[in-house]
């Protein structure tokens, strides 16, 4: 059924694309990118095994049509694949998908309110909790509706998204006509919704303060019969604040924190967890050549396992974790016992060339045990206005065992 829905979405997209191109004029924009990346992965901490090499390819085609000055329709078609995964040049793995497809009514009747509805990327603040994960070969999209307000010094988004829909047929599965009975096996169990408010206050000197609250709920099976359906849920509420201030002297300060509370009706487990992060960076130099130093500390709370009725492990929700806890992606999910990350780094850039270096010291939040250290080096070179080259190397130094090694290189052509 998922394949059929995808085909329908793509067919609709292509029909819309035909209408857009037929009425293009100055209201139509077409853009896209082809990104290829080769990776070597020897992250198993065993030097006796050979590392794995593979290639990734992502192709995106973006179309934007503006029937009115304040109404935009955006379509992004995407093909993402591991090169050679079809195992035959005559095969078709059907990787084409609708990455984005939404309309944006930026100004409703001349007001400061707007509306976006459809399939879209969502990214808030520094993407600590909700992000588009641009590094991923697929990237993250949400089926969502966003009602927003934009003022001179304040803006806010109210969004609602069905993150997981278990019944993809589009019809009720609660009644079996042949039996004439209610089914207990499928009452939307597993359906997950995410709603939230993310706001931002911007001062005249460029300081940004962003309070937010996100609420996620999942319907779970409580074991009751159909006539006793209690609609049990697993709820998680995240309240937090993000702060960013860039000074004219090149100093930048960034801090964020969040607290989570929740309840699983079936297991009767309460969630009480937190996270916070703070980092500072300083740029030196002129327009021709610049240097930067940075340092910071992140902490995600963990659970020591002593109280079965309480969960203290912070959930990073839909974050772009590749951006925070090392480029080698050992910590895409917060460990049960939590995570501490102390990091220092530097950067250099000159015209169209740049280099960054980051060093992480990882520890557990519970027990303060060493998890290892990681060194990340990343190089970028903007060859011309259309082509950009990237390469990187990561080395992980565990407390025991061989080092983990990972590297990549690739190019992105944008048009």
- Residue ranges covered by each domain of the chain: 2-414
150: pLDDT strictly greater than 50? yes
3: pLDDT strictly greater than 50? no
CB 301 within 8 A of CB 365: yes
pLDDT confidence bin for 93, thresholds 50/70/90:
confident
In terms of residues, how long is the chain?
415
- Residue 257 β-bridge partners: 241, 276
**266-271 average pLDDT score:** 94
3-state SS, residue 15: helix
The least confident of 6-15, 131-140, 151-160 is 6-15
pLDDT confidence bin for 132, thresholds 50/70/90:
very high
C-alpha 54: how far from chain center: 23
CB 242 within 8 A of CB 128: yes
102: pLDDT strictly greater than 90? yes
**313-330 average pLDDT score:** 97
User: How many other C-beta atoms are found inside a 10 Å radius of the C-beta of residue 226?
Assistant: 13
Determine the pLDDT at residue 84: 92
The pair phi, psi for residue 104, each rounded to 5°, is -125, 105
3-state SS, residue 6: helix
26: pLDDT strictly greater than 50? yes
**378-388 average pLDDT score:** 97
> Vertex 360, ends 357 and 366: CA angle to 5°?
165
User: According to the CATH classification, is domain 2-414 in 2.60.40.1180?
Assistant: no
**380-398 average pLDDT score:** 98
pLDDT (tens digit, 9 = 90+) per residue, 361-371? 999 999 999 99
pTM (whole model) above 0.85: yes
pLDDT confidence bin for 166, thresholds 50/70/90:
confident
Determine the pLDDT at residue 176: 44
* Percent of the residues in the chain that have a pLDDT greater than 90, as a whole number: 77
Determine the pLDDT at residue 88: 81
The pair phi, psi for residue 340, each rounded to 5°, is -120, 140
Determine the pLDDT at residue 94: 83
pLDDT confidence bin for 226, thresholds 50/70/90:
low
Determine the pLDDT at residue 189: 79
Distance CA 93, CA 86 (A): 6
What secondary structure letter does DSSP report for 86? T
pLDDT (tens digit, 9 = 90+) per residue, 345-361? 999 999 999 999 999 99
**213-224 average pLDDT score:** 87
71: pLDDT strictly greater than 60? yes
Determine the pLDDT at residue 251: 95
233: pLDDT strictly greater than 50? yes
pLDDT confidence bin for 46, thresholds 50/70/90:
very high
* pLDDT mean across residues, the chain: 89
Distance CA 149, CA 141 (A): 22
* Percent of the residues in the chain that have a pLDDT greater than 70, as a whole number: 87
pLDDT confidence bin for 196, thresholds 50/70/90:
very high
Max Cα-Cα span within the chain: 77
The pair phi, psi for residue 20, each rounded to 5°, is -60, -50
Determine the pLDDT at residue 170: 57
């Amino acid at each position: 059924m998922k394949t059929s829905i995808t085909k329908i979405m793509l067919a609709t997209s292509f029909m819309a694309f035909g209408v857009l191109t037929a009425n293009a004029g100055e209201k139509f924009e077409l853009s896209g990118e082809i990104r290829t990346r080769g990776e070597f992965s020897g992250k198993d901490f065993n030097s006796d095994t050979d590392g794995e090499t593979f290639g990734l390819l992502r192709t995106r085609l973006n179309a934007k049509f503006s029937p009115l000055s304040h109404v935009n329709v955006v379509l992004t078609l995407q093909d993402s694949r591991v090169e050679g995964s079809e195992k035959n040049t005559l095969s078709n793995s059907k990787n084409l998908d609708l990455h984005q497809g939404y309309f944006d009514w930026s100004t409703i009747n001349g007001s400061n309110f707007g509306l976006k509805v459809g399939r879209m990327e969502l990214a808030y603040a520094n993407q600590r909790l909700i992000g588009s994960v641009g590094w991923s070969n697929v990237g993250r999209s949400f089926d969502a509706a966003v009602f927003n307000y934009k003022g001179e010094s304040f803006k806010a988004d109210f969004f609602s998204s069905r993150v997981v829909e278990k019944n993809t047929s589009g019809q009720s599965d609660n009644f079996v006509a042949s039996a004439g009975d209610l089914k207990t096996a499928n009452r939307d169990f597993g359906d997950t919704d995410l709603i939230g408010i993310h706001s931002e206050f911007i001062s005249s000197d460029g300081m940004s303060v962003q309070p937010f609250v996100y609420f996620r709920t999942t319907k779970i099976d409580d074991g009751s019969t159909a006539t006793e359906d209690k609609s049990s849920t697993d709820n998680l509420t995240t309240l937090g604040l993000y702060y960013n201030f860039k000074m004219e002297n090149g100093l930048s300060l960034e801090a964020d924190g969040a607290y989570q509370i929740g309840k699983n009706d079936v297991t009767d487990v309460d969630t009480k967890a937190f996270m916070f992060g703070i980092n500072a960076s300083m740029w030196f130099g002129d327009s021709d050549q610049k240097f930067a130093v940075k340092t910071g500390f992140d902490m995600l709370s963990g659970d020591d396992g002593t109280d079965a009725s309480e969960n203290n492990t912070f959930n990073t929700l839909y974050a772009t974790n590749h951006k925070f806890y090392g480029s080698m992606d050992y910590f895409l999910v917060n460990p049960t016992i939590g995570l501490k990350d102390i990091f220092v780094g530097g950067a250099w850039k000159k015209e169209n060339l740049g280099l960054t270096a980051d060093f992480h010291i990882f520890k557990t939040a519970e027990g303060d045990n060493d998890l290892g250290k990681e060194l990340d080096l990343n190089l970028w070179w903007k060859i011309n206005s259309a082509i950009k080259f990237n390469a990187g190397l990561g080395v992980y130094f565990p407390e025991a065992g061989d080092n983990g090694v990972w590297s990549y290189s690739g190019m992105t052509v944008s048009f």
